[in-house]
Amino acid sequence: MNSTAAAEPLSSPSDEDDVPDAVRAAEAAVAALADSFLEWIGEDIGRAKEALAAGQEKPGDNQPELRAIFEVVHNVKGQGGSFGYDLLTKIGGSLCDYLRVEAASADEKQLKVIAAHFAAMDFVLEKNIQGNGGAIGEQLTGKVAQLVANIPAPA
C-alpha cells in the first residue's frame, strides 16, 4: 500500500470550497426567516389572544380555548430563542407551564394571568427586545412569575 495515499484528504478541494458557500446560504436562509419572524409570530400570538377573548366569555368552561392558546404559545416558546428572542421564549415557557393540565378550564383570575403573559409578549415584540432583555426582561418575567405564584394554574 502506498503511504502517500493514506495521508490524502477524504474530500476534494472543491468540496472544501463549497462548505463556506453552504454555510453562507444557510445563514442567509435564517436571516430571511428572522426578517419575517416578527410578522408571523405576531399573527400567531394574535390567534392565541382571540382564543383568550373567547375563553373570557365563559370562565370555568373554556378548555378548548386554553388548548388553542397552549398550542400557539408552545410554538412561540420553541421559536423565540431560535431568532434571538430569548425573553419571548421564557415568557412563553411560563405560560406553557401555567397551562400544563390538558383538561383544565380557567376562571376569571387565571384568565388575567394568561392575559398578563400576552401583555408581556406584546411588549417584547413592540420594543423589539432581543436576548434576555436585561433589567427590563427581569422586571417582566418577575411580574409574570409573581402572578403565577399568587394565582394557581388551571387544574
More confident residue, 145 or 20: 145
Predicted TM-score (pTM) of the model is: 0.81
Q: Which three cell numbers stand for residue 36?
A: 419575517
Give residue 88's pLDDT.
96
Give residue 18's pLDDT.
58
SS3 108: helix
Give residue 22's pLDDT.
83
Domain spans in the chain, listed from the N-terminal domain onward: 13-150
Which class for 71: exposed (0-12), middle (13-18), buried (19 or more C-beta within 10 A)? Answer: middle
Question: By mean pLDDT, which of 21-25, 44-48, 135-139, 142-146 is the weakest?
Answer: 21-25
Q: How many CA atoms lie within 13 A of 10 on its CB side?
A: 0
Q: For residue 99, what pLDDT band results from cuts at 50, 70 and 90?
A: very high
With beta carbons less than 8 A apart as the criterion, state whether 69 and 51 touch: yes
Rounded Cα gap, residues 71 and 63, in angstroms: 12
CATH code 3.10.20.70 for 13-150: no
With beta carbons less than 8 A apart as the criterion, state whether 51 and 67 touch: no
Say which DSSP state 83 is in: G
Give residue 25's pLDDT.
84
